[in-house]
Chain A
Amino acid sequence: MPMRPGEEWVAFKMAERGGRGSGGHGSLDKSITLPPDEIFRNLENAKRFAIDIGGSLTKLAYYSTVQHKVARVRSFDHSGKDIENEPLYEISVQEEITARLHFIKFENTYIETCLDFIKDHLVNTETKVIKATGGGAYKFKDLIEKKLGLKVDKEDVMTCLIKGCNFVLRNIPHEVFAYQKDSDTEFRFQTNHPNIFPYLLVNIGSGVSIVKVETEDKFEWIGGSSIGGGTFWGLGALLTKTKKFDELLQLASKGQHTNVDMLVKDVYGGAYQTLGLSGNLIASSFGKSTTADKEFSKEDMAKSLLHMISNDIGQLACLHAKLHNLDKIYFGGFFIRGHPVTMRTITYSINFFSKGEVQALFLRHEGYLGAIGAFLKGAEQDNPNQYSWGENYAGSSGLMSTSPDVYPMQRTRSGTFDMLEMDRLERPLVNLPLLKDPSAYIPDTVDLTDDAMARKYWLTCFEEALDGVAKRAAASQPDSVDALERAEKFRQKYWNKLQTLRQQPFAYGTLTVRSLLDTREHCLNEFNFPDPYSKVKQKENGIALKCFQSVIESLDSLGWEERQFALVKGLLAGNVFDWGAKAVSDVLESEPQFGFEEAKSKLQERPWLEDSYSQWLERLKEGPPHKCALIFADNSGIDIILGVFPFVRELLSRGTEVILACNSGPALNDVTYSESLIVTERIAAMDPVIQSALREEKLLLVQTGSSSPCLDLSRLDKGLAVLVRERKTDLVIIEGMGRAIHTNYYAALKCESLKLAVIKNSWLADRLGGKIFSVIFKYEVPCK
Chain B
Amino acid sequence: MLCLRVSRPPRRSLAVFPWFGLDIGGTLVKLVYFEPKDITAEEEEEEVENLKSIRKYLTSNVAYGSTGIRDVHLELKDLTLCGRKGNLHFIRFPTHDMPAFIQMGSEKHFSSLHTTLCATGGGAYKFEQDFRTMGDLQLCKLDELDCLIKGVLYIDSVGFNGHSECYYFENPTDAERCQKLPFNLENPYPLLLVNIGSGVSILAVYSKENYKRVTGTSLGGGTFFGLCCLLTGCSTFEEALEMASHGDSTKVDKLVRDIYGGDYERFGLPGWAVASSFGNMMSKEKRESVSKEDLAKATLITITNNIGSIARMCALNENINRVVFVGNFLRINTISMRLLAYALDYWSKGQLKALFLEHEGYFGAVGALLELLDSA
Residues of A within 8 A of B (CB): 55, 135, 156, 158-159, 205-207, 209, 221, 223-231, 233-235, 237-239, 243, 260-262, 264, 266-270, 272, 274-275, 281-293, 296, 301, 308, 311-312, 315-316, 319-320, 322-323, 353
Interface string of B319-336 (1 = CB under 8 A from A): 000000000000000000
Q: Is the CB of A239 within 8 A of B317?
A: no
* B314 vs chain A, min Cβ distance (A): 7
* B88 proximal to A (CB < 8 A): no
Residues of B within 8 A of A (CB): 25-27, 121-123, 125-128, 143, 145, 197-199, 213, 215, 217-223, 225-227, 229-231, 233-235, 252-254, 259, 266-269, 273-282, 284, 287, 295, 302, 305-306, 309-310, 313-314, 316-317
User: How many Å lie between the Cα of A205 and that of B310 in the bound state?
Assistant: 20
B121: chain A residues within 8 A (beta carbon): 267
Given A221-B267, A227-B302, is A288 in contact with B226 using a C-beta cutoff of 8 Å? yes
User: How many Å lie between the Cα of A275 and that of B234 in the bound state?
Assistant: 34
* A243 vs chain B, min Cβ distance (A): 7
Interface residue SS majority, chain A:
mixed
Query: Which of the residues B199, B253, B274, B280 comes within 8 Å of A287, measured between beta carbons?
Result: B199
User: How many Å lie between the Cα of A225 and that of B308 in the bound state?
Assistant: 11
B287: chain A residues within 8 A (beta carbon): 234, 237-238
Given A283-B218, A353-B215, is A234 in contact with B225 using a C-beta cutoff of 8 Å? no
Q: Is the CB of A315 within 8 A of B276?
A: no
Q: Is the CB of B306 within 8 A of A267?
A: no
B220: chain A residues within 8 A (beta carbon): 284-285, 287
Q: Is the CB of A230 within 8 A of B277?
A: yes
Residue of A nearest to B266 (CB): A156
* B95 vs chain A, min Cβ distance (A): 8
Q: Is the CB of A225 within 8 A of B306?
A: yes
Q: Is the CB of A319 within 8 A of B276?
A: no
B282: chain A residues within 8 A (beta carbon): 55, 206, 230, 233-234, 237
A221: chain B residues within 8 A (beta carbon): 266-269
Q: Is the CB of A296 within 8 A of B230?
A: yes
Q: Is the CB of B259 within 8 A of A135?
A: yes
Q: Which 8 A-B pairs have the closest CB atoms?
A: A234-B281, A286-B226, A267-B122, A284-B222, A230-B276, A269-B126, A287-B222, A230-B279
* B30 vs chain A, min Cβ distance (A): 14
Query: Which of the residues B122, B231, B253, B317 comes within 8 Å of A323, measured between beta carbons?
Result: B317
* A256 vs chain B, min Cβ distance (A): 16
Q: Is the CB of A284 within 8 A of B226?
A: yes
Q: Is the CB of A207 within 8 A of B125?
A: no
Query: Which of the residues B230, B275, B306, B313 comes within 8 Å of A223, measured between beta carbons?
Result: B313
Cβ contacts A to B, 14 pairs, < 8 Å: A205-B276, A221-B269, A226-B275, A226-B276, A227-B306, A234-B276, A237-B282, A260-B226, A267-B25, A267-B121, A269-B127, A289-B227, A312-B306, A319-B215
Q: Is the CB of B317 within 8 A of A225?
A: no
Q: Is the CB of B277 within 8 A of A289?
A: no
Given contacts A235-B227, A287-B27, A292-B229, 10 further A-B contacts (CB under 8 A): A158-B267, A159-B266, A226-B253, A226-B273, A233-B278, A269-B128, A274-B143, A289-B230, A290-B229, A322-B317
Given A237-B281, A267-B126, is A315 in contact with B267 using a C-beta cutoff of 8 Å? no
Q: Is the CB of A292 within 8 A of B233?
A: yes
User: How many Å lie between the Cα of A156 and that of B223 in the bound state?
Assistant: 35
B234: chain A residues within 8 A (beta carbon): 292
Query: Which of the residues B223, B254, B278, B313 comes within 8 Å of A284, measured between beta carbons?
Result: B223
B314: chain A residues within 8 A (beta carbon): 319
Q: Is the CB of A268 within 8 A of B122?
A: yes
The residue in A238, A270, A275 that gathers the most chain B C-beta atoms within 10 A of its C-beta is A238
Q: Is the CB of B199 within 8 A of A284?
A: yes
User: How many Å lie between the Cα of A274 and that of B122 in the bound state?
Assistant: 11
User: How many Å lie between the Cα of A229 and that of B254 in the bound state?
Assistant: 12
Q: Is the CB of A239 within 8 A of B230?
A: yes
